Amino acid sequence: MQYKLLLFFACLTIYGCTSAQQETTGPDPARIAEHINFLASDEMKGRGTGSEGTRRAAAYIAGRFGDYGLAPKGTEGYFQPFTAKVTRVKVDDSLRTARNVIGFLDNGAEYTIIIGAHYDHLGEGRQGSSKDPHPEGKIHNGADDNASGVAGLLEMAHYFSSGKLKEPYNFLFIAFSAEELGLLGSKYFTGHPTIPLSSVNFMLNMDMIGRYNPERGVGIGGYGTSPSWPEIFEGAEGKVKFFTDPAGSGGSDHGSFYAKDLPVLFLHTGGHEDYHMPGDDTEKVDVKSEAAILEIGIRLIENAMELPKLEFIKP
């Protein structure tokens, strides 16, 4: 079951001047592959909530946050522990300790952009949401869902932390736990925020961005949550195509922020036959297309930073 992604080495995209004259390298397919290979390896045993695999994944993410110079912004260093409950099936350990992983890039700004992705998955098929008819004991590696999103989170953290000049907004990077149990990590954060929610400009969420289908394109949800999004999307086209969806709610962590009346964006390459199945493995992730998707996400963020704090509306 365990595979290794081919490491695609490509010329690094050099971005020109932005709102803060950002000059740094763009998303790297090789780094994306490295992150996914680690997080979705068999040794992580599917990163089920409260498992040793999720603890190792959280430590890995916190280590990268430290490498990138992000300040800890949890309640215990980079970590924000909370109790998660398994409700879909009966298990002996229904109450589990989970941890969000939170890093802060302080640019001395008044407002903050949140970038997030969940890092938990289904473990060995005992959490009740596998699509396999007999899931127990089978490792669900979750390469696309959602090691791909975490790799995107880390690439954006690397990008925005390596610029020469400060951006006009701060950044809060959050890897959520217990998303697969009902968005519990993001719900806990929005109920117990480590920065004032009134200081949040918008939230960008990445969930399953590793299986690009050129016929479908990348879905970008949340387009209807601010009247400024149409202006921000001008000139955002890239190497992969995308389409927009106005909805701010949905089955991923951006919905918890939308429920708090915050503008959101949601990047998603769509469902596939390996969704919540043991076959969601690393060799099926298209890291070159993921890098191109991240370039679009970065471009949208940079366009948004040219504007004042976004107004929230309901689509």
Q: Which domains does the chain have, with CATH numbers?
A: 29-304 (3.40.630.10)
What integer pLDDT is reported at residue 92 of this predicted model? 53
Amino acid making up residue 276: H
CB 46 within 8 A of CB 26: no
- DSSP-H helix ranges across the chain: 29-39, 52-67, 149-161, 184-191, 229-232, 254-258, 287-304
| Per-residue confidence in pLDDT tens, the chain, 315 aa | 433 344 333 333 333 334 433 456 899 999 999 999 999 999 999 999 999 999 999 999 999 999 999 999 999 999 999 999 877 554 555 678 999 999 999 999 999 999 999 999 999 998 878 999 999 999 999 999 999 999 999 999 999 999 888 999 999 999 999 999 999 999 999 999 999 999 999 999 999 999 999 999 999 999 999 999 999 999 999 999 999 999 999 899 999 999 999 999 999 999 999 999 999 999 999 999 999 999 999 999 999 999 999 999 999
- DSSP-H helix ranges across 119-241: 149-161, 184-191, 229-232
What integer pLDDT is reported at residue 89 of this predicted model? 52
C-alpha angle 246-299-20 in degrees, rounded to nearest 5: 125
C-alpha dihedral (208, 214, 215, 221), degrees to nearest 10 = 40
Residue tagged 């959602």 (tokens): 146
Burial class, 109, CB count within 10 angstroms (exposed 0-12 / middle 13-18 / buried 19+): middle
What integer pLDDT is reported at residue 165 of this predicted model? 85
Claim: this prediction has a pTM higher than 0.85: yes
